[in-house]
Amino acid sequence: MDKVYLTWWQVDRAIFALADELRKNFMPDVIVGVARGGLIPAVRLSHILGDLEVKVIDVKFYKDIDERMEKPVVTIPLHGSLEGKKVVIVDDVSDTGKTLEVVTEEVKKAGASEVKIACLSMKPWTKVVPDFYVFRTDKWIVFPWEEFPVVVRE
Ligand code: 5GP
């Protein structure tokens, strides 16, 4: 599969675009960040939107690029109640959409009154189109936090 490499600068601009959309259309009480890919955008959004509470959920679905397990499994469940809260779920990308389906279910079970999804990106074939997203691609996205310079020390 072709890959597209994003820089920190491109990702930060995308996060600011999401923040603008959220501010205008759906100011959440709580952000649920999907580990691992959604965590950096979730924390960044929390700071930009005024120190919003961030909760974490971890769902495992991929073993490797394009190698999926049968269905997503919640490995870190949501902690505490979301009773009556407006919640935005934040992830890096909606690919099949199955992860976001599971996370949405969990957020509703925790009592959220309203739930929206914000992602940096989506694939054209996803079955969960995020309420807010910045770009579409059919390539495998490599985010800047997935890459690191090789430092050789003597
Ligand atoms: P889905 O359940 O929508 O198929 O996959 C969601 C998760 O798989 C995302 O949260 C992300 O961590 C990972 N994923 C899916 N597609 C990509 C991609 O193109 N690049 C990266 N880095 N992760 C991806």
Model confidence pLDDT, tens digit, residues 85-104: 999 999 999 999 999 999 99
Say how far apart CA 154 and CA 151 lie, in whole Å. Answer: 10
The domain locations on the chain are 3-141
Nearest CA to ligand 1 atom 9: 93
| Element of type H or E holding 15 | helix 8-25
Atom of ligand 1 nearest to the CA of 95: 3
Say how far apart CA 4 and CA 142 lie, in whole Å. Answer: 6
Confidence category of residue 64, pLDDT binned at 50, 70, 90: low
How large is the ipTM? 0.97
Q: What is the fold of 3-141?
A: Rossmann fold (3.40.50)
How far does the centroid of ligand 1 lie from the alpha carbon of residue 108, in Å? 22
Question: Considering the chain, what is the average pLDDT of its residues?
Answer: 93
Residues 6+ away with beta carbon under 8 Å from 136: 121, 122, 123, 124
146-to-8, 36, 37, 118, 139 alpha-carbon distances in Å: 11, 10, 9, 20, 16
Contact between 7 and 144 under an 8 Å Cβ cutoff? The reply is: yes
Atom of ligand 1 nearest to the CA of 146: 22
3-class DSSP state of 98: helix
Say how far apart CA 113 and CA 39 lie, in whole Å. Answer: 22
Say how far apart CA 25 and CA 32 lie, in whole Å. Answer: 17
If one residue of 5, 36, 93, 137 were mutated to test the ligand 1 pocket, choosing by the most ligand atoms within 8 A of its CB, it would be 93
Q: What is the pLDDT of residue 1?
A: 82
Each residue's pLDDT tens digit, 74-87: 999 999 999 999 99
How far does the centroid of ligand 1 lie from the alpha carbon of residue 102, in Å? 14
What global pTM score does this model have?
A: 0.93
Verify whether ligand 1 is closer than 6 Å to residue 34 (CB atom): yes
Q: Which two structure tokens, joined as six digits, stand for 103?
A: 């996370």
**Residue 62, pLDDT above cutoff 80:** no
